[in-house]
Structure 1
Amino acid sequence: MLTRFFRAPALGRSLRTLVVRSYSTEAVAKIDPSDENRLNHLRNIGISAHIDSGKTTLTERILYYTGRIDDIHEVRGKDGVGAKMDSMELEREKGITIQSAATYATWKDNAINIIDTPGHVDFTIEVERALRVLDSAILVLCAVGGVQSQTITVDRQMKRYNVPRICFINKMDRAGANPWRIIDQLRQKLKLTAAAVQIPIGAESELEGVVDLVNMKAYYHEGAKGEKIITKDIPAALMEKVNEKRQELIETVANVDDEIGELFLMEETPTSEQLAAAIRRATIGLKFCPVFMGSAYHNKGVQPMLDGVIQYLPAPHHVPNYALDAKQNEEKVQLSCSSSDPLVGLAFKLEESRFGQLTYLRIYQGTLKKGEWIVNVRTGKRVKVPRLVRMHSNEMEDVDSVGSGEICALFGIECASGDTFTDGTTALTMTSMFVPQPVISLSIEPKGKESPNFGKALNRFQREDPTFKVHVDAESKQTIISGMGELHLEIYVERMKREYNTECVTGKPQVAYRETITSRAEFNYTHKKQSGVVGYIEPMEEANEKGETVEFSNETVGMNIPANYIPAIQKGFYEAVEKGALVGATVTNCRFVLEDGAAHAVDSSELAFKIAAISAFREAFMSAGPQILEPVMDVNVTAPVEYQGSVIGLLNKRKGTINDSEIRDEYVEVNAEVPLNEMFGFSTDLRSISQGKGEFSMEYKRHVPVMPFVQTQMMEEFKKAQAAKNK
Structure 2
Amino acid sequence: MSISQEVARRRTFAIISHPDAGKTTLTEKLLLFAGAIQIAGSVKARKASRHASSDWMEIEKQRGISVASSVMQMEYRDCVINLLDTPGHQDFSEDTYRVLTAVDAALMVIDAANGVEPQTIRLLQVCRARNTPIITFINKLDREVQEPLNLLSEIESHLGMDAVPFSWPVGMGRSFGGVFDIRRNRMRVFRAGQEKRGAQDEMIDGLDNPEIASRFGDAYAKANEEIELIQAAAPEFDHDAFLAGKQTPVFFGSAINNFGVQEVLDALVDLAPTPGPRTAIQREVQPDEPKFSGVVFKVQANMDPAHRDRVAFVRVSSGRFERGMRLKIARNGKEMRPNNVVSFLSQRRELLDVAYAGDVIGIPNHGVLQLGDVLTEGETLQFTGLPFFAPELFQAVEVKDPLRIKQLRIGLTQLGEEGAIQVFRPEASGGALLLGAVGQLQFEVVAHRLKTEYKVDARMMPSRYNMARWFTAEDPAVLRKFMNANAANIAYDVVDAAAFLASSPAQLRVAQELYPGVEFHAMREHGGRVFGQNA
Which TM-score applies when normalising by structure 2? Answer: 0.84
Q: Percent identity?
A: 25
SS in 2 for 1:189: helix
Q: Which residue, out of 272, 275, 284, partners 1:313?
A: 272
Between Structure 1 and Structure 2, how many residues are aligned?
Answer: 487
Judging changes above 3 Å, is the alpha-carbon distance between structure 1 residues 252 and 176 closer, same or farther for their aligned structure 2 residues?
A: closer
CA contact (8 A) 2:15 2:23 kept: yes
CA contact (8 A) 1:125 1:467 kept: no
Q: Which residue, out of 251, 259, 265, partners 1:292?
A: 251
Judging changes above 3 Å, is the alpha-carbon distance between structure 1 residues 502 and 589 closer, same or farther for their aligned structure 2 residues?
A: same
Counterpart-to-counterpart distance in 2, 1:108 and 1:220: 24
CA contact (8 A) 2:278 2:284 kept: yes
Q: Which residue, out of 363, 374, 393, partners 2:327?
A: 374
Counterpart-to-counterpart distance in 2, 1:215 and 1:584: 59
Counterpart-to-counterpart distance in 1, 2:81 and 2:474: 49
Amino acid at match of 1:393: S
Amino acid at match of 1:152: I
CA contact (8 A) 1:578 1:585 kept: no
* Residue 22 (structure 1) aligns with: none
Offset, 1:416: 0.8
* Residue 382 (structure 2) aligns with: 429
1:346 counterpart = 2:295: yes
Q: Which residue, out of 469, 472, 490, partners 2:444?
A: 490
Counterpart-to-counterpart distance in 2, 1:387 and 1:83: 26
Judging changes above 3 Å, is the alpha-carbon distance between structure 1 residues 137 and 441 closer, same or farther for their aligned structure 2 residues?
A: same
1:168 counterpart = 2:137: yes
Kindly provide the CA deviation profile for residues 684-711 of structure 1, in whole angstroms up to 9, marking residues without a partner as x. xxxxxxxxxxxxxxxxxxxxxxxxxxxx
Q: Which residue, out of 225, 241, 261, partners 1:282?
A: 241
* Residue 130 (structure 1) aligns with: 99
CA contact (8 A) 1:437 1:467 kept: no
CA contact (8 A) 1:129 1:349 kept: yes
Counterpart-to-counterpart distance in 2, 1:351 and 1:553: 35
Stretches of structure 2 that go unaligned for 5 or more consecutive residues are 491-500, 517-521, 523-535
Offset, 1:508: 2.7
1:395 counterpart = 2:316: no
Kindly provide the CA deviation profile for residues 216-261 of structure 1, in whole angstroms up to 9, marking residues without a partner as x. 121235684432333322423537734643562564325xxxxxxx
* Residue 652 (structure 1) aligns with: none
Judging changes above 3 Å, is the alpha-carbon distance between structure 1 residues 500 and 467 closer, same or farther for their aligned structure 2 residues?
A: closer
Offset, 1:467: 4.9
CA contact (8 A) 1:143 1:177 kept: yes
Counterpart-to-counterpart distance in 1, 2:238 and 2:187: 19
Q: How does 1:566-585 map to 2 (within 5 A)?
A: 567-577=476-486, 579=488, 585=503
* Residue 397 (structure 2) aligns with: 444
SS in 1 for 2:443: helix
Counterpart-to-counterpart distance in 1, 2:489 and 2:451: 35
Offset, 1:190: 2.9
Judging changes above 3 Å, is the alpha-carbon distance between structure 1 residues 477 and 334 closer, same or farther for their aligned structure 2 residues?
A: closer
1:552 counterpart = 2:509: no
SS in 1 for 2:149: helix
CA contact (8 A) 2:420 2:446 kept: no
Q: Which residue, out of 433, 438, 445, partners 1:479?
A: 433
SS in 2 for 1:429: coil
SS in 1 for 2:456: coil
Offset, 1:106: 2.2
Amino acid at match of 2:287: C
1:245 counterpart = 2:227: yes
SS in 2 for 1:166: strand
Offset, 1:160: 2.4
CA contact (8 A) 2:135 2:249 kept: yes
SS in 1 for 2:416: helix
Judging changes above 3 Å, is the alpha-carbon distance between structure 1 residues 580 and 107 closer, same or farther for their aligned structure 2 residues?
A: closer
* Residue 524 (structure 1) aligns with: none
Counterpart-to-counterpart distance in 2, 1:181 and 1:434: 34
Counterpart-to-counterpart distance in 2, 1:500 and 1:46: 30
SS in 1 for 2:169: strand
SS in 1 for 2:234: helix
Q: Cα RMSD over matched residues? A: 2.9
Amino acid at match of 2:246: K
Offset, 1:453: 1.4
1:46 counterpart = 2:18: no
SS in 2 for 1:253: coil
Amino acid at match of 1:364: S
Stretches of structure 1 that go unaligned for 5 or more consecutive residues are 1-32, 255-277, 326-332, 515-547, 555-566, 593-616, 625-630, 632-727
CA contact (8 A) 2:156 2:162 kept: yes
CA contact (8 A) 1:444 1:478 kept: yes
CA contact (8 A) 1:142 1:171 kept: yes
CA contact (8 A) 1:122 1:487 kept: yes
Offset, 1:489: 0.7
1:230 counterpart = 2:202: yes
* Residue 611 (structure 1) aligns with: none
Amino acid at match of 1:347: V
The structure whose RCO (Cα within 8 Å, separation 6+) is larger is 2
CA contact (8 A) 1:552 1:573 kept: no
CA contact (8 A) 2:16 2:86 kept: yes
Offset, 1:121: 1.2
Counterpart-to-counterpart distance in 1, 2:110 and 2:19: 10
* Residue 454 (structure 2) aligns with: 500
1:209 counterpart = 2:174: no
Judging changes above 3 Å, is the alpha-carbon distance between structure 1 residues 551 and 480 closer, same or farther for their aligned structure 2 residues?
A: closer
CA contact (8 A) 1:279 1:312 kept: no
Amino acid at match of 1:342: K
Judging changes above 3 Å, is the alpha-carbon distance between structure 1 residues 471 and 59 closer, same or farther for their aligned structure 2 residues?
A: same
* Residue 304 (structure 1) aligns with: 263
Counterpart-to-counterpart distance in 1, 2:48 and 2:194: 16
Which TM-score applies when normalising by structure 1? Answer: 0.63
Offset, 1:198: 0.9
CA contact (8 A) 1:219 1:231 kept: yes
* Residue 187 (structure 2) aligns with: 218
1:404 counterpart = 2:352: no
